[in-house]
Amino acid sequence: MLARFRLPCGLLLAALLAFAHAGKVFWLFRRHVERQREQQAMREVQMRWQLQSQFRPAMLNSISTKVGLIPQHLDHFNRQERRVFNQRYWINEQFWQRPAGPIFLYIGGEATLTPFSVVAGHHVDLAEKYKAMVVALEHRFYGTSLNPDGLQDENLQFLSSQQALSDLVAFRHFITEKYNLRANHTWICFGGSYPGSLAAWFRLKFPHLVFAAIASSAPVKAQMDFTGYNKIVAASLSNPVVKGSKECLQRVREAFASVDSMVHVGWLAKLSIDFHSCSPLQGDKDCQVLVTNLADIFMGAVQYNYEAIVSGTVASICSIMTNSSIGTPYQRLVVTNLVILDQLGMPCLENSHEEILEELRNSSIAMSDLAVRQWYFQTCTEFGYYQTCEDPECPFSPRMSLAYQLDICTQVFNISYRNVSKSVSFTNDYYGADHPKASRVLFVNGDIDPWHALSVLKNESASELAILINGTSHCANMYSPAPGDPRSLIRARQQITAWVGKWLNLAKIP
């Protein structure tokens, strides 16, 4: 059915890899980034309508896409399981050259999918250039693609990347029949972050169904103790390319050392007041949440540098942390926290460990939009990805431990440490980790993005390729060109465009 949508505030443009730890600040940081990207997407759509509608203002407030629901098996691997759920999809035929034009598949991830997934972004620019139809599928158990009781523990067993890939297979067949396409019609898939991994894996596992894949910021290597994340954060905080410095990194280290010392001597009341804790810190678990929330500020600034809030870039945060007129490094951390709380519209810092557990255990559909419960389940059962700080190179607090993260798997989902480890090993065996041995897959990463450590960073073969972009962060290449883009990003998009063109020409050869 044809649906017209006003361009709404608060809808997601693209799924972003969720933070696999208990801090709340990063989730709010992420939401703010999503709103920024939505606004950028809105501007892109408006510009496109202006160019194609001869500046008719009435067209600027709406976009035309097709939205629908496809019934999917709850369990693709057990045909005795008869239950189904409705999975949402979007279609944009605006640029499609019927009937032979290619199909560009945008893969949804751990967030709600919106119409922006088929009307904005570099993949849509490519669709316009190469006359492709753009289709997008929301990930199972996220957004509206969920049964009424879908977040109950007994149903979460059906939330996995393997089931998600099978959803993509069924969706491809559905689109093929709907538009009477050839069985070997050319499909190219796109994804960023976890969906970037899905894009690579879709090509790897179903090469007869998808011709090629662009996998952006794709952490294809599962890792339980992701110590490399904060090593890259530390390197980025000292990187002059993004206006970091060695002094900035050192002051961050000193500030967190002061926090740890205060926890050690029991000055929890002062910490609660200084960092505007919503409730008094009650013990070590709450202190673990506090240091994680504070670390989130720096992690978020690095992961989403120049896409984040004005006061949440590496440059702006380092300008505070190196400002001696504010006082000690600890006092500068206090100021940094206040600035970020203000920017995020948070009256206080939520540091209660018990409240985090309560939120993660909440299986009501009303909580599904947050996606925290679903994604944490996937980290416990497939990926790990726990950003710890027990390595000396980490600039934050060693209280951010692996044991603390794994305890949440046990307390919320009754999944043991050993089973998390086994699940991570299975994922790497099943997909090939960072040596997947696929073909016609292009891995694109920014070297500031901490997640690039788990991706493919160099050419594995003549057709399993990699681009590493200097000075850019998470999924930066997925958005349309903008004024001020660094030359490295401009060049990367040119390379992506060229490879898509080469693949489409190759697909035409009998």
User: Active-site positions?
Assistant: 193, 449, 474
Residues in the chain: 510
Distances (CA, A) of 472 to 200, 458, 488: 21, 17, 8
* The amino acid at 151: L
The CA distance from 279 to 451, in Å, is 32
Give CA–CA dist 41/38, Å, rounded.
Answer: 5
Give 54's contacts (C-beta < 8 A, 6+ positions apart).
none
Please say whether the beta carbons of 452 and 217 come within 8 A: yes
Cα dist from 341 to 230, 279, 413, whole Å: 22, 15, 31
Backbone angles phi, psi at 403, to 5 degrees: -60, -40
At a CB cut-off of 8 Å and minimum separation 6, what does 457 contact?
A: 434, 443, 445, 466, 468
**Assign residue 121 a region: left if phi > 0, alpha if psi is -120 to 50, beta otherwise?**
left
C-alpha closest to that of 162 among 376, 420, 381: 381
Tokens of 52: 């194609």
Cα 208 to chain centroid, rounded: 27
H/E element, 64: strand 62-73
CA atoms within 13 A on the CB side of 122: 26
Determine the Cα–Cα distance for residues 455 and 221; give it in Å rounded to an integer: 6
- Going by C-alpha positions, the residue among 315, 291, 314, 306 that lies closest to residue 394 is 291
Strand partners, 274: none
Q: Which of 106, 184, 115 is nearest to 139 (CA)?
A: 106
Calpha distance 109→150 (Å, rounded) = 16
CA 247/CA 324 separation, integer angstroms: 11
Extended strands (E) in 335-492: 384-386, 441-446, 464-469
Strands (E), 233-337: none
Looking at the DSSP bridge assignments, the partners of residue 5 are 63
Q: What are phi and psi of 100, to 5 degrees?
A: -100, -5
